[in-house]
Amino acid sequence: MKGKQIIGKIREIPEASVIAAFVIMCVILSFLSDVFFTVQNFVNILQQVSVTAIVAIGQALIIITGNIDLSAGSTMALGGVAAAFLAKQGINPWLAALLAVALGCVVGYLIGFLAIRLQIVAFIVTLGMDYILRGCCYLISDGMPISYTNSVSVLGSGKLGIVPISVFIMLFLIVFFQVFTKKTVTGRRFFAVGCNDKSARMSGIRVDRIQMGAYVVMGALAAFAGIINAGNLWTADSVSGKTLALDTVASSTIGGVSMSGGAGSIVGVLFGAVIIGTMRNAFVLLNISAYWQQVAIGVIIILAVGIDRFRAK
């Protein structure tokens, strides 16, 4: 009886299935590899997923409100390139970084304006913006990587003890947005809007502001992630983040965010990103071809959504 109650309680936790999947993965991989279940390896995984996870927060917010952002990768690249370019011009690197994040906000606002105010389908707007922003990166950098070695780079390459600073930043943002979505009035409204925008309007929610807000937050997070990424590599490259948009959609999906909007959690998204990261890590440790990695990640995405679908019935 008691055990049943506990299982019942666990099932009420929305992130239960993605966390369970992660635990099972860890158990299996621990048997297959000696190196897998070590602190150092987990730190590595977290560091590798930090950029994806930060951008995935924004993606999840957008998907929760019923939209999508396919330009996240280019916004990320633009953030890095802009910060590096401005710093190279002699502007204080911290101010340059701040300006780059502000640029991200502007990009988000622009997408929001086109997709929400002017009602052009978000899928198309962000697809178009992806090309535009990528082009802007090349225009700014003239197609060459810009070195990024200044005091801001510590965000991407610094460490506190053995843990990279980027991991702390990621965890902080995850907790912050988890609390924001679940425990604030505005956060709740994100879910209401995504569940049914007309009902939300009738309930006095300013749907436009919420949906545009999600894009602005995404712009800021993506640009910031771009700075971390550039700091990590000591260089800002226009080609970075080519698969990021889809990776963040995948992380959100695996983490239990409903593609039709209105449901999901930020902690779930972290686990979604970590599961993908762990897969990549495992394939390296086990010396399996990287091609199989791609296949396996695809299978997981479909499984994640499929299992939730059957559970809902």
Partner 1 sequence: MEKEMLRLEHISKSFSGVRALTDISLTFRRGEVHALVGENGAGKSTMMNVIFGNIQPTEGKIYFSGEEIVVGEPGTAQKNGVFMIHQEGSLLDTLSVMENIFLSSLKKNRFGFLDNKKMYQETREILELLEMGNMDPRKKVERLSAPERQLVEIAKAIALNPALVIMDEPTASISVKEVQILMRIIRKLKEKGIGVIYISHKLEEVFEIADVISVLRDGTLVGTYGKEEMDTNRLITLMVGRQLGSEMEELKNQGGEKKKEEVILKVEELKVPVYGKGVSFEVRRGEILGFAGLVGAGRSELFEALIGFRKTDVKKAVYFGQELKVLTPADSIAAGIGMLSEDRREKGIFAQHSVSDNINIINLKNLRNGMLLGRAKENNAAKEMGTKLNIKTFDLKTKIRNLSGGNQQKVLLARFLSMKEIPKLLILDEPTHGIDVGAKAEIYRIIKSLVERGVSIVLISSELPELMLLCDRILVMHEGEITGEVERREFGQELIMEYASNLKNDNG
Smallest distance, partner 1 to C-beta of residue 3, A: 22
204 scored as a contact of partner 1 (CB under 8 A): yes
**CA nearest neighbour of 255 among 266, 241, 242:** 266
118 scored as a contact of partner 1 (CB under 8 A): no
Which ranges of 89-206 does DSSP label H, i.e. alpha helix?
93-112, 122-141, 154-157, 165-183, 185-195, 197-202
Contacting residue, 30, 38, 151, 184, with partner 1 by CB under 8 A:
184
Q: Which two tokens mark 70?
A: 């396919």
Which residue number, 14 or 158, has a Cβ lying nearer to partner 1? 14
Smallest distance, partner 1 to C-beta of residue 180, A: 10
Which residue number, 73 or 262, has a Cβ lying nearer to partner 1? 262
Contacting residue, 26, 201, 234, 296, with partner 1 by CB under 8 A:
201
Smallest distance, partner 1 to C-beta of residue 198, A: 4
Task: Mark 140-173 as b/e (b = at least 16 C-beta within 10 Å).
Answer: bbeeebbebebebbebbbeeeeeebbbbbbbeeb
Q: What span, in angstroms and rounded, lies between the C-alpha atoms of 126 and 59?
A: 12
Contacting residue, 200, 227, 230, 304, with partner 1 by CB under 8 A:
200
Task: Mark 268-300 as b/e (b = at least 16 C-beta within 10 Å).
Answer: bbbbbbbbbbbbbbbbeeeeeeeeebeebbeeb
Q: What span, in angstroms and rounded, lies between the C-alpha atoms of 224 and 227?
A: 5
Contacting residue, 39, 118, 160, 202, with partner 1 by CB under 8 A:
202
**In this chain, which stretch among 111-119, 192-200, 211-219, 275-283 interacts with partner 1, using CB under 8 A?**
192-200
* Contacts (CB under 8 A) with partner 1, residues 257-296: 258, 262-263
Q: What span, in angstroms and rounded, lies between the C-alpha atoms of 312 and 46?
A: 31
Q: What span, in angstroms and rounded, lies between the C-alpha atoms of 77 and 231?
A: 12
183 scored as a contact of partner 1 (CB under 8 A): yes
Q: What span, in angstroms and rounded, lies between the C-alpha atoms of 143 and 133?
A: 13
Which residue number, 79 or 112, has a Cβ lying nearer to partner 1? 112
**In this chain, which stretch among 91-99, 147-155, 194-202, 292-300 interacts with partner 1, using CB under 8 A?**
194-202
Smallest distance, partner 1 to C-beta of residue 261, A: 9
Contacting residue, 39, 118, 185, 290, with partner 1 by CB under 8 A:
185
Task: Mark 81-117 as b/e (b = at least 16 C-beta within 10 Å).
Answer: bbbbbbbbeeeebeebbbbbbebbbebbebbbebbbe
Which residue number, 118 or 185, has a Cβ lying nearer to partner 1? 185
Contacting residue, 30, 38, 151, 203, with partner 1 by CB under 8 A:
203
Which residue number, 235 or 258, has a Cβ lying nearer to partner 1? 258
Smallest distance, partner 1 to C-beta of residue 190, A: 12
Which residue number, 206 or 242, has a Cβ lying nearer to partner 1? 206
**In this chain, which stretch among 2-10, 114-122, 199-207, 235-243 interacts with partner 1, using CB under 8 A?**
199-207
What is the residue type of 141? S
Which residue number, 64 or 68, has a Cβ lying nearer to partner 1? 64
Give CA separation, 181 vs 4, 56, 186, 187, 262, in Å: 30, 14, 8, 4, 11
Q: What are the residues binding partner 1 (CB under 8 A)?
A: 179, 182-185, 188-189, 191-192, 195-196, 198-206, 258, 262-263
